[in-house]
Every structure is written in C-alpha cells, then in structure tokens.
Amino acid sequence: MLLSMLLFAAQATAEPAEKPKLVCRRYTPVGSLISKKDCRTQPEWEKAAADGNAEARRLIEGGAGTLNSYNADPADQQAIPFPR
C-alpha cells in the first residue's frame, strides 16, 4: 500500500511529457493561386517523405506511367488513338 502511494506521488510530481514541435510548410497546389499551410511533427514529415519516395520508386521500378516500357509485354499494349 505504501509503495503504491509513493509511486502515485512520484507520477503526479513528474513533469508532463513535452509535446512534439509542429513544423509548418507552405505550398501552392497545382492549378491554384492560393497557397496552403501544412503543419506536422518532424517524424510525420519524415514518414511522408519516406512514403513518397517509396511510391516513386515503386512506380519507376514497375514501369508504370510509360507507354513503351522496356519491360512491358508488347501483347499487353493497346493502340492509343491520336487526337485530331
């Protein structure tokens, strides 16, 4: 009982955990004239960057987004009509 009271008292007097600092960045979306503000913690920014890099790597290595990819099967390619 005494031990639990001491632990409770020690927890009550401990300093509260410091909140992570927000890092805000401004960006202008494509096609807009108005900039926006995005605020995240540093670990969130790092995760967003890592996720974006992983997605870009996946697209490049997979050959996505190219019409004549060197690793694409020619039988899978469809003719794209030329606009007139």
Question: Do the beta carbons of residue 27 and residue 45 sit within 8 Å?
Answer: no
**Range scoring the smallest mean pLDDT among 21-25, 51-55, 64-68:** 64-68
pLDDT (mean) for 70-78: 59
pLDDT (mean) for 7-14: 60
Which of 24 and 76 is assigned the larger pLDDT?
A: 24
pLDDT > 90? residue 82: no
- pLDDT value, residue 1: 60
**3-state per-residue secondary structure call for 33-83:** CCCEEEEEEHHHHHHHHHHHHHHHHHHHHHCCCCCCCCCCCHHHCCCCCCC
pLDDT tens digits for 23-40?
999 999 999 999 999 999
- pLDDT value, residue 8: 65
